[in-house]
């Protein structure tokens, strides 16, 4: 009985530390800025979206009502589109499809400060043309 009690008190702190993540800490990726975005008849929320320059960004976009799309200009508003892009997408997709009730992840790195416009690229109804937003990249 005495050995069992010692064993219990010696290993209880170790077991607690392991269970609480102390022994194997899970470090969140601090170089990723995650932004939760919703899409619904004819708006994106939040708008505008503010992100930091040089940080990898994950937009987790969820459609609340129907299928929408997401397309972003890779150059800041008013800049020459022939130069190097200010946003570097992790995917080659041009128009990201956002199914109702599902979450689509759009990942990019913002290399230049400025304002970048985006819009719905999947015809979603009469107000489709007004379904727009902006990402503001801050230095």
Whether residue 105 is contained in a domain is answered as yes
Whether residue 117 is contained in a domain is answered as yes
Whether residue 19 is contained in a domain is answered as no
Task: Give me the pLDDT at residue 41, please.
Answer: 93
Task: Give me the pLDDT at residue 81, please.
Answer: 75
pLDDT in tens, 78-126: 988 788 899 999 999 999 999 999 999 999 999 999 999 999 999 999 9
Residue 123: which domain range? 31-138
Task: Give me the pLDDT at residue 30, please.
Answer: 61
Please tell me the total count of domains within the chain: 1
Of residues 63 and 22, more confidently modeled: 63
- The CATH number of the domain holding residue 43 is 2.60.40.420
Whether residue 23 is contained in a domain is answered as no
Q: Are 85 and 74 in contact (CB under 8 A)?
A: yes
Whether residue 60 is contained in a domain is answered as yes
Give the sheet arrangement for strand 96-98, strand by strand: 49-52, 132-138, 114-119, 68-72, 96-98
């Amino acid at each position: 009985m005495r050995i069992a009690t010692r064993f219990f008190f010696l290993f209880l702190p170790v077991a607690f530390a392991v269970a609480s993540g102390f022994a194997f800490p899970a470090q969140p990726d601090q170089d990723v800025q995650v932004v939760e975005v919703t899409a619904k008849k004819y708006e994106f929320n939040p708008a505008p979206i503010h992100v930091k320059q040089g940080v990898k960004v994950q937009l987790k976009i969820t459609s609340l009502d129907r299928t929408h799309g997401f397309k972003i200009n890779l150059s800041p508003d008013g800049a020459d589109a022939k130069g190097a892009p200010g946003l570097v997408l992790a995917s080659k997709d041009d128009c990201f499809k956002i199914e109702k009730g599902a979450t689509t992840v759009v990942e990019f790195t913002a290399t230049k400060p400025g304002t970048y416009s985006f819009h719905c690229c999947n015809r979603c109804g009469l107000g489709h043309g007004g379904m727009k937003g902006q990402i503001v990249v801050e230095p």
